[in-house]
Amino acid sequence: MDNIRRGNKQLIKELNRAILINTILNYGPVSRTRISEITDLGLSTVSNIVADLIKKELIYETGEEESSGGRRAILLEFNCNDRFVLGIKIGLDGIIIGLVNMKSKILDQHFIPSPVKSNEEIVLEVLIRAIRDLISKNHIKAEKILGCGIGVSGLVNQKEGTLVFSKILGWKQIRFKELLEKEFDFPIFVDKDVNVLTLTEKRFGVGKKINNFICITIGKGVGAGIVIKGDIYHGSYGGAGDFGHIIIDKDGPLCYCGKRGCLETFSSDQFIINKIKEALSNQQDTIIKDFLKKKEDLNSITVDTVLEAAQKGDVISKNIFQEVGKSLAIGIVSLVSLFDPELIVLGGEGVKAGELIFPTMRKVIRDNFPFKKEIKIVPLQPGEEGWIIGAAELVLSEVFKTPIFKSKGKVAIKSAFHW
Amino acid sequence: MDNIRRGNKQLIKELNRAILINTILNYGPVSRTRISEITDLGLSTVSNIVADLIKKELIYETGEEESSGGRRAILLEFNCNDRFVLGIKIGLDGIIIGLVNMKSKILDQHFIPSPVKSNEEIVLEVLIRAIRDLISKNHIKAEKILGCGIGVSGLVNQKEGTLVFSKILGWKQIRFKELLEKEFDFPIFVDKDVNVLTLTEKRFGVGKKINNFICITIGKGVGAGIVIKGDIYHGSYGGAGDFGHIIIDKDGPLCYCGKRGCLETFSSDQFIINKIKEALSNQQDTIIKDFLKKKEDLNSITVDTVLEAAQKGDVISKNIFQEVGKSLAIGIVSLVSLFDPELIVLGGEGVKAGELIFPTMRKVIRDNFPFKKEIKIVPLQPGEEGWIIGAAELVLSEVFKTPIFKSKGKVAIKSAFHW
DNA sequence: TAGATACTTTCTTCACTGAAACAAGTATCT
DNA sequence: AGATACTTGTTTCAGTGAAGAAAGTATCTA
């Protein structure tokens, strides 16, 4: 209540423009009359606002509809290629950068191999060059870029736009926002990679119309993006959704995070590798042996090695994935108890092993909720687009944010509703 | 965005009235000029709205302030005793019912001993009589009652206003809303007891200015009320916050809920009783023996018995409480990993044993987060007011809800901003 | 040409706004 | 004590500009 703007003509104006633009985004191409019907705004009001928005080049007329017995309707469309957004995903393998239009369509994307194990300066240098290259290659004026969103693995301070710490990347304290904003004239937004992927699912994917859901990523680590009442939930200090570090075994083994019995100690890539190494050193019968050139070459084993073995029918390997499935299920059971979500989405590298993990996982979940009707669990198609679109969405969601709330402090980005 | 009202004069009007009433509620008694400063509304606007609200008897002038060098300010106050709300808490021991004014002050309250193990009809009958008695005893016209909030232990369907199932009360499928609304002309709101208590803390207690926090109740069961972005989070099906049934030991003992290793199997009243019985049957040395008249009278042991023993220094009993503390800590660690809240509040019967439980709990939490700065954990004073105020708040929060959102379906309650 | 549908123009309404007027006090000087 | 200046709080009133209503225009079909 306290953070709501007072009512005056300015608010009405912005609000109705927001409603109108959103209607065109969702229903477009669409006529004035139809907009009036959908939004319940007066026809003259719609006409006036439309005229204003056309003048400002935010929308444009794009032909006529078939007649339905009278004058043909003039269709309106959002001018989504007038300005652009950059979406960046920083991963262990490298950086993916994409140019995205205002309707979240990827226009161009590039991959820059990893500058991992680098320090702040080098990472930033690579990013700056990548951004400049992308902009110039697409012949876009820099002032047409609305902003840049970055998704990165680790603990992120959203407000400061810094990566506080990332175990996987081996980085800490990288001031993306501050340093990139020095270089460019558009705002930078940073968030955890899981949250970025979750955002994509919320806006365009399986979570589109769902208010409360959780998107779990399985891979090097285990994380979760939490959507509550339609928004990503970050927690008070940005650390929410640390699904990999809930405790599923109170007297379990020590985790690198300092706790005991974390889910991640039973389900991450490292767990799989450790398990298979253990099996090998116990002389257990697994075809992984045949994969190794030298017998001692244990360090060359990756999750993909084990996955391949399991897919070829190796029992030991299959069992390991099943065990991962069981542990994930235990974690999900707790998630469901706490969040009671409508949907759980599974993403990340780990879905590649889905066939091996999910059946056990689903079974354990079912067994644990005998009185509850089946919980909707949907695996995601792997791919890079999700990350880019989500990162770009960090910017777009700000641009198209409902103009009802007071903006405290200096405004990071100008809302589309008073361009 | 889709659920936001379109901008027009009506919205401006309601919005500014809402802002003004809220300002008076928060800062009152307060002058027109001060309201203008706080809200940023024009002075003439404030005067106009005030005149309107005085006419509608929502606010009134209540004397003058000391002069600060000029004309004395006329103070305005919210007319909080013009209408009333009922708050009911249904517990194992009985029903507490309270008459609450619009500023959440309890004006009268009564206790009706338990109709537990009764069927739907009897429970409803008792409630109806209790409500009638309270209203007539206080000489209040029924039309002055805005609504009635009910807090009850168990799984609640908020929308339907039903208790779906309660293990503790042994009830299922009680249609509070439907049946009580047949009897009375005001709307009924039902929520889980934990959420009701949490609501009180959010509005008036330690959580007042905190956006994200969790309120844990310890007692017959273990539950949690979750506050996210200032609102209680219910989950998609009303089951969120089932903290007692997160899994802290994946291979732990079977819980009555059908899962294995639930927190509640390590921390509820039943756990404490079972543990002490076990100790007694193992002939361990505890002064509880002396408490029992007959040696075999094991079933007379309650948590209070064990608590008394522990407070008298009984080592076995003390250890049990410490074990509870440890298990709760493990659960809280997972909560923190998932929610990253600013604050954790501890309430419920269990706080009586706080001295025995909390030190261990805090230590285990600290040990588990070596890299994290201390987490704020605040125990609550036990008492009944919290339940009543929270239950009443279920109604008041609807009455004073920000008038920005579209109300879908038929409106449950008329907002104060267009009385 | 009648009827339907889409859009535009013109005019009205009404809640906020800001400036000025008014009201009622304090401070200070004679 | 009375006059004057200043301060603070409230009301009045003309003005603004957004939505909205109604009437008019444009364009299509049958």
A342-374 pLDDT, tens digit each: 999 999 988 999 899 999 999 999 888 877 777
Q: Are residues B118 and B53 in the same domain?
A: no
Over range B38-60, report the average pLDDT: 88
Q: Are residues A407 and A349 in the same domain?
A: no
Residue B319 confidence (pLDDT):
92
A48-105 pLDDT, tens digit each: 999 989 888 899 998 887 777 778 889 999 999 999 999 999 988 889 999 999 999 9
Mean pLDDT of chain A: 89
What does the CA dihedral B305, B306, B308, B313 come to, rounded to 10 degrees? Answer: 150
Residue B117 confidence (pLDDT):
67
Q: Are residues A178 and A98 in the same domain?
A: yes
A118-128 pLDDT, tens digit each: 677 788 999 99
pLDDT surpassing 70 at residue A293: no
Mean pLDDT of chain B: 89
pLDDT category at B116 given cuts 50, 70, 90 is: low
How distant is the Cα of B8 from the closest Cα of chain A, in angstroms?
Answer: 6
Residue B100 confidence (pLDDT):
97
Q: Which of A95, A57, A83, A177 is nearest to A135 (CA)?
A: A83
Q: Regarding predicted confidence, which is higher, A293 or B402? A: B402
Find out whether A194 and A224 touch, Cβ atoms under 8 Å. Answer: yes
Beta-strand runs (E) in B330-369 = 343-347
Q: Which of B262, B267, B270 is nearest to B303 (CA)?
A: B270
A17-35 pLDDT, tens digit each: 999 999 999 887 999 999 9
Could you give the number of structural domains in chain A?
3
Strand C contact at CB of residue A113, distance < 7 A: no
Domain finish residue from B59, B78, B97? B78
Q: Please state which of the ranges A387-401, B129-143, B248-262, B387-401 shows the lowest mean pLDDT.
A: B248-262
Q: How many CB atoms neighbour CB A164 within 10 A?
A: 16
Residues of B in contact with A13 (CB under 8 A): 7
pLDDT surpassing 70 at residue B293: no
Residue B88 confidence (pLDDT):
97
Over range A382-394, report the average pLDDT: 93
Q: Are residues A257 and A312 in the same domain?
A: yes
Residue A414 confidence (pLDDT):
80
- The whole domain housing B187 covers 84-200+385-418
Strand C contact at CB of residue A48, distance < 7 A: yes
A113-164 pLDDT, tens digit each: 876 666 777 889 999 999 999 999 999 999 999 999 999 999 999 999 999 9
B176 falls within a domain: yes
B182 falls within a domain: yes
Nucleotides of chain C in contact with protein CB (under 7 A) are: 3-10, 14-20, 23-27
Q: Are residues B223 and B311 in the same domain?
A: yes
Q: Are residues A213 and A361 in the same domain?
A: yes
A180 falls within a domain: yes
pLDDT category at B285 given cuts 50, 70, 90 is: confident
Q: Could you tell me the CATH number of the domain that includes residue B34?
A: 1.10.10.10
Q: Are residues B412 and B363 in the same domain?
A: no
Q: Are residues B351 and B402 in the same domain?
A: no
A333 falls within a domain: yes
Domain finish residue from B44, B78, B112? B78
Residue B115 confidence (pLDDT):
67
B144 falls within a domain: yes
State percent of chain A over pLDDT 70: 96
Indicate left, alpha or beta for B258 from its phi (over 0: left) and psi (-120 to 50: alpha). left
B20 falls within a domain: yes
Contacting A residues, span 387-416, partner chain B, CB-CB under 8 Å: 400, 402, 404
Q: How many CB atoms neighbour CB A345 within 10 A?
A: 26
pLDDT surpassing 90 at residue B131: yes
Residue A10's contacts (CB-CB under 8 Å, 6 or more residues apart) are: none
Q: Is B305 on the interface with A (CB under 8 A)?
A: no
Q: Are residues B92 and B67 in the same domain?
A: no
Strand C contact at CB of residue B167, distance < 7 A: no
Q: Is B95 on the interface with A (CB under 8 A)?
A: no
Footprint on protein of nucleic strand D, Cβ below 7 A? A 9-10, 12-13, 16, 41-45, 48-49, 64, 67, 69-72; B 6-9, 31-34, 43-44, 47-48, 50-51, 68-74
Strand C contact at CB of residue A31, distance < 7 A: yes
Residues of B in contact with A267 (CB under 8 A): none
Of B212, B236, B249, the CB nearest to A342: B236
B64-105 pLDDT, tens digit each: 877 777 778 888 999 999 999 999 999 888 899 999 999 999
Residue A295 confidence (pLDDT):
59
pLDDT surpassing 80 at residue A411: no
Domain finish residue from A58, A78, A98? A78
Residues of B in contact with A195 (CB under 8 A): none
Strand C contact at CB of residue B44, distance < 7 A: yes
Q: What are phi and psi of B192, to 5 degrees?
A: -60, 150
Q: Are residues B185 and B216 in the same domain?
A: no
Q: Are residues A231 and A345 in the same domain?
A: yes
Q: Are residues B236 and B362 in the same domain?
A: yes
Residue A97 confidence (pLDDT):
97
- Burial (Cβ within 10 Å: 0-12, 13-18, ≥19) of residue B211: middle
Both tokens assigned to B298: 């094991």
B3 falls within a domain: no
Contact A340 B242 (CB under 8 A): yes
Q: Could you tell me the CATH number of the domain that includes residue A364?
A: 3.30.420.40
A329 falls within a domain: yes
B302-345 pLDDT, tens digit each: 888 888 888 988 888 999 999 999 999 999 999 999 999 999 99
Q: Regarding predicted confidence, which is higher, A242 or A55? A: A242
Helix, coil or strand: residue A41: coil
